[in-house]
Amino acid sequence: MFLLTLFMGTMISISSYTWLGTWMGLEINLLSFIPLLKDKNNPYSSESSIKYFLVQAFASTIFMFSIMMIMMTSNLISDIININMFLMMMINSSLLLKMGAAPLHFWFPEIIEGMSWINSLILMTWQKIAPMMLLSYTINFSNYIIFIILMSTLVGSIGGLNQTSLRKIMAYSSINHLGWMLSSFLYSEMLWIMYFTMYTFISMTLIYMFNSFKIFYLKQMYTFMNKNLLIKFSLLLNLLSLGGLPPFLGFLPKWMVIQYLSNNYMWLLFFMIMMTLITLFFYLRISYTSLILSHDELNFNILMTMNTKMNLTMLFLSFISISGLILCTILFNLY
């Protein structure tokens, strides 16, 4: 029931004709997600749900206050253009806080650390749809939005360097990808939809594997992967795909953003690419470390281990994530 109202709240927000209707959808979404965070097996779930509620309630208060101020000042103040620009910046700030974009990201990694993998996936993907769509209505790419893009790519890359928790690594990676998604609005909403769809698919593939084997930390991943060759390469190649390394699927959305924005925003793209190389560095470091560890998997039959845990769904998702760029290139050429 709560999952259904969670989806319904997002749909109300993105399809509403009034700002009050969008606020109502955001509140329905918030109140539906909090009960989903409760987990008897996780002692930190209550802490995460309280932190999430406080942050989201604060952002909703700012959002509602900005809407009320726009309604009140539209008939009373003559210099309405400058007032509206300031209030639109407040609305944008509240939506960016709801998404966890830097420098308003302080709550995002801490809350994800106390969640299950499924809730983390919802927070990193579905919970960004409504704020991003509302942001597309008011975004005007002033220096403020450019600053948010720069900070998101910077914090998302630097923050994940010394992490041992896979959930925090995925959280900082999400912040980095959020900077790329915001920059995709410079061209069109369709570019953002394509980027978000591919990011969601790759994140879903990785989290499906992490959740299936109950892996939460790098040490667990190294220990588990050294006994299974097929799972090791699937996990590592999916991580590199999330980092945007060609020729994997994760490189395709970044390729499109670079292609469309290279004419007018070269300096911004250069900074974003440099920061993405840092995220790719700690993914490569994880892969390199696991590959040089002791190889116990040679003593196992690959087909036997595949039948025990590595089911067909996992193999299919990994295949699409790894070879998606090649498949999309072939399809584009045929089209």
Beta-bridged to residue 316, according to DSSP, are none
Residue with tokens 């944008």: 92
- Model pLDDT, residue 170: 93
What tokens does 6 get? 């969670």
Tell me how far apart the alpha carbons of residues 215 and 167 are, in angstroms, rounded to a whole number.
Answer: 10
Alpha helices in the chain (DSSP H): 2-15, 19-37, 45-73, 80-99, 108-113, 117-124, 129-138, 143-158, 166-184, 189-213, 218-225, 229-243, 251-261, 266-292, 302-308, 312-334
286 contacts: CB under 8 Å, gap ≥ 6: 218, 221, 236, 239
SS3 217: strand
pLDDT at position 53 is: 93
In a structure prediction context, what are the per-residue pLDDT tens digits for the chain, which is 335 residues long?
A: 889 999 999 999 999 888 889 999 999 999 999 999 887 777 778 888 999 999 999 999 999 998 888 887 765 554 445 557 788 888 999 999 999 998 898 999 999 988 989 999 999 999 999 999 998 887 776 788 889 999 999 999 999 888 889 999 999 999 999 999 999 888 888 889 989 999 999 999 999 888 888 889 888 887 776 666 777 778 888 888 898 888 888 888 898 899 888 888 888 899 999 999 999 888 888 877 777 665 554 444 444 444 444 567 777 777 777 777 777 666 555 54
Output the pTM of the full model.
0.89
CA gyration radius, the chain: 21
**DSSP letter string over 264-278?**
T-HHHHHHHHHHHHH
User: Which letter does DSSP use for residue 165 in this model?
Assistant: B
Minimal CA–CA distance to 249: which of 284, 315, 285, 197?
A: 197
CA-closest candidate to residue 116, choices 202, 207, 203 = 207
Domain ranges of the chain: 2-334
Quote the pLDDT of residue 77. Answer: 53
